[in-house]
């Protein structure tokens, strides 16, 4: 992760061109509301207490970076790439990250409402002690995705590759698409708790 001593503090959120490169920049308290940074790359950068309301980060690339206490509604990370990046204590909502690629990413604490990861590619991604509401993992390719100490509300699965998905450490509420979770890992207690939902999706009639 980036060292504060090696970073340049930058509070201006105005990006003048597409496909800019940012190396070792510390965005501290920066307001990115409505900012356009499509195709930009961020290497060893930090977002600290920044705002990302309606920010356009489509196709952006984040490597060895950190997001700390970042907030935002309507953030677009469609087809973005996040590698060796951490998100800590963030509160995000309506995050469009379809078709994105996440590798060696840790999301710790905070809350994410309506996270669209449809068609995303996820490898060695960990959600820790956070709340995720409205997670869309349809058509996603998962090769290492865990939820430890998390509450995951209304996740949607289906038509994806889930052999590397481990939900056993999460509290699952109202999941959709359970029948498509072939290869995923659930705890015994989760399977028991979700038996009625499994039966309903599979068209199985349960006799009392």
Asked whether 197 and 172 are in contact (CB, 8 A), the reply is no
The answer to whether residue 2 scores a pLDDT higher than 70 is no
The pTM is what?
A: 0.91
The answer to whether residue 12 scores a pLDDT higher than 80 is no
Q: Tell me what pLDDT residue 204 has.
A: 84
| Tokens describing residue 128 | 């820790």
pLDDT higher at 186 or 19: 186
Backbone dihedral angles phi then psi of residue 154, each to the nearest 5 degrees: 55, 50
Query: For 4-202, which CATH class?
Result: mainly beta
State the chain's maximal CA–CA distance in angstroms.
66
Report, as an integer, the average pLDDT of 137-156: 98
> Taking all residues of the chain, what is their mean pLDDT, rounded to a whole number?
92
Q: What is the pLDDT of residues 107-128, one digit of tens each?
A: 999 999 999 999 999 999 999 9
Q: Tell me what pLDDT residue 205 has.
A: 84
Q: Tell me what pLDDT residue 207 has.
A: 82
Confidence tier at 19 by pLDDT (50, 70, 90): low
Q: Tell me what pLDDT residue 114 has.
A: 98
Q: Tell me what pLDDT residue 8 has.
A: 53
Q: Tell me what pLDDT residue 206 has.
A: 81
Report, as an integer, the average pLDDT of 56-74: 97
Confidence tier at 57 by pLDDT (50, 70, 90): very high
Asked whether 25 and 4 are in contact (CB, 8 A), the reply is no
Q: Backbone dihedral region of 69: left (phi > 0), alpha (psi from -120 to 50 degrees) or beta?
A: left
Q: What is the pLDDT of residues 164-199, one digit of tens each?
A: 999 999 999 999 999 899 999 999 999 999 988 888
Report, as an integer, the average pLDDT of 5-24: 65
Please name the residue that has the structure tokens 């998390």.
150
């Amino acid at each position: 992760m980036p060292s504060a001593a090696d970073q340049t503090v930058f509070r201006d959120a105005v990006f003048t061109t597409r496909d800019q490169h940012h190396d070792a920049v510390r965005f501290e308290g920066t307001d990115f509301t409505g900012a356009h940074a499509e195709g930009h790359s961020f290497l060893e950068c930090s977002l600290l207490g920044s705002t990302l309301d309606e920010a356009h980060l489509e196709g952006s690339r984040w490597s060895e970076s950190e997001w700390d206490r970042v907030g935002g509604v309507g953030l677009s990370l469609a087809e973005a790439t996040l590698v060796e990046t951490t998100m800590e204590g963030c509160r995000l909502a309506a995050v469009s990250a379809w078709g994105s690629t996440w590798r060696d990413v840790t999301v710790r604490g905070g809350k994410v409402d309506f996270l669209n990861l449809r068609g995303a590619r996820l490898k060695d991604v960990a959600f820790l002690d956070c709340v995720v509401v409205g997670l869309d993992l349809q058509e996603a390719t998962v090769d290492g995705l865990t939820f430890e100490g998390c509450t995951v509300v209304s996740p949607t699965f289906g038509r994806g590759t889930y052999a590397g998905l481990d939900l056993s450490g999460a509290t699952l509420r109202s999941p959709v698409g359970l029948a498509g979770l072939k290869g995923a890992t659930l705890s015994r207690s989760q399977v028991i708790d979700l038996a009625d939902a499994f039966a309903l999706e599979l068209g199985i009639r349960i006799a009392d």
